[in-house]
Structure 1
Amino acid sequence: MKSLVKKIKEGISEVIFPTICVVCGMKVSASQHFVCTHCLEHKFDLANRQGKQISSDTILPEGIVLQHALWNFDKGGHLQDLLHQLKYNRLTGVGVDLGRQLGKTLLRNPFFIRAIEDQKVRLVPVPLHPKKEQKRGYNQAFYVTRGVAEVTNLHILKKQAIKRVKNTRTQTGFSLEKRRENINGAFKVQRPDLIEEAFCVIIDDVFTTGATTFELAKALRSAGSGNIAIASVAQA
């Protein structure tokens, strides 16, 4: 009886407050939050269509064996707006939708499949400094990571395992040298036992120069992790 009442309530809610895609305005499926299948599959420019080991033109530091982005960033476009909604307007479901799509493309990347084979794998959302997370109310990278985990069935590293100890200024507008200086020493691994010899997949919303994710990778490697992959929704 309760399940019937629940279904009736959900049906009424769907009529009064239909869930529509924030990109195109069409109705989204029950398994999605804010972005419809058509937009996820066709609206944006794939960054790694051929499933390469590196989707950008960045040179990877030693120990980072894969850099994979879902889409190319579209300044002033729908993707930038989506990421803004995720980051600043508390639409965390957008992060889950985008994370699921990112996870699907990771599973189509042969370098990723080979890298995780017979490995202890941990998904690592790029941490926010506690003050910044408290102010925002959440870490957008975590919700992207949750979407990836739903698709790949890989485990998310426990939050207490690694901490952002340096409250860095925003990197926007910085040169590469200034970005590296700004982010240097920003992360501390507090539970090295949780990442020991693990293949760590660092997940973020946008990959630009790699300064932040490379610094996080350095902290993980210094604490005893195995090789590292970097996965992001967009690359700029």
Structure 2
Amino acid sequence: MCSQCIKNKFEVANPERKQVSSDTLLPEGVVLQHALWNFDKGGFLQDLLHALKYHRLTGVGEDLGVALGKSLKRNSYFRTDEECLLVPVPLHPKKRRMRGYNQAGFIAKGIEKSTTISLCKKQDVIRIKNTKTQTGFSLEKRRENINQAFMVKNPSSFKNKVCIVVDDVFTTGATAFELADTLLQSGASKIMIATVAQA
């Protein structure tokens, strides 16, 4: 992706969200939900994210991650004196085998390149529940679908660290918040959420 597209093609999201919506605060322990752009249904950004997710254009994920990382560094909540760790939202092994890769992992690799924040080992936190796609679900149904979907296998990797949960799109927050809760229970000091788009 060229720098002009990254700067001018998409609508910039609110980079310092403390609320998911006008009446929903972030859960305890989650200090930031940072999105780079607003999701454009039927637009170019959606096409890019679909190309990453379903058509193996993994380089797009890294490019988007580099842009997201640069944006994250400019956020006033992001501090360089804290020990941070990138945690891409894991896929269930069955879904990963079918797709061949985890798109959130490539976005996280891009963030790692532009920030030097380390990426967690994929075996340290896993998805143990093969959830249905969340598209079209209500918030309540999404929460039920994703409940207890993740497991930390190596808690020492996350202990006292600021974990940055990485995904492609933030919609209701059900998935990111479930993973955040799992990481906090395993000793993470706090959670930030970084996504390419905010729906």
Task: Tell me how far apart the structure 1 counterparts of residues 195 and 119 of structure 2 sit (CA, whole Å).
Answer: 15
Correspondence for 2:33 among 44, 67, 77: 67
- Residues 1:52 and 2:13 aligned together: no
Contact 2:19 2:26 in 1 (8 A): no
Task: Tell me how far apart the structure 2 counterparts of residues 55 and 220 of structure 1 sit (CA, whole Å).
Answer: 20
Gaps of 5+ in 1: 1-34
**Partner residue of 2:111?**
148
Contact 1:55 1:68 in 2 (8 A): no
Contact 2:52 2:58 in 1 (8 A): yes
Three-state SS of the structure 1 residue aligned to 2:85 is strand
Q: TM-score, normalised by structure 1?
A: 0.81
Three-state SS of the structure 2 residue aligned to 1:150 is helix
Task: Tell me how far apart the structure 2 counterparts of residues 94 and 129 of structure 1 sit (CA, whole Å).
Answer: 22
| Higher strand content, 1 or 2 | 2
Q: How far does residue 52 in structure 1 lie from its aligned partner after superposition? A: 2.1
- 1:152-201 Cα distance to aligned partner (Å, 9 max, x none): 00000111110100000000000000000000000000000100111000
- The number of residues matched between the two structures is 197
Deviates more, 1:118-127 or 1:178-187: 118-127
- Letter of the 2:16 partner, please give it: K
Q: Name the larger-Rg structure.
A: 1
- Residues 1:172 and 2:135 aligned together: yes
Q: How far does residue 234 in structure 1 lie from its aligned partner after superposition? A: 0.2
Aligned-residue Cα RMSD (Å) equals 1.1
Q: How far does residue 55 in structure 1 lie from its aligned partner after superposition? A: 7.2
Gaps of 5+ in 2: none
- 1:190-232 Cα distance to aligned partner (Å, 9 max, x none): 0001001110000000000000000000100111111000000
Correspondence for 1:158 among 121, 130, 138: 121
Correspondence for 2:175 among 212, 216, 230: 212
Q: TM-score, normalised by structure 2?
A: 0.96
- Structure-to-structure mapping, 1:1-236, within 5 angstroms: 35-48=1-14, 51-54=15-18, 56-57=20-21, 58-113=24-79, 117-236=80-199
**Identity across the alignment (%):** 59
Misfit runs of 4+, over 4 Å? none
Looking at both structures, which has the greater relative contact order when contacts are Cα pairs under 8 Å and sequence separation is at least 6?
Answer: 2
Task: Tell me how far apart the structure 1 counterparts of residues 175 and 56 of structure 2 sit (CA, whole Å).
Answer: 23
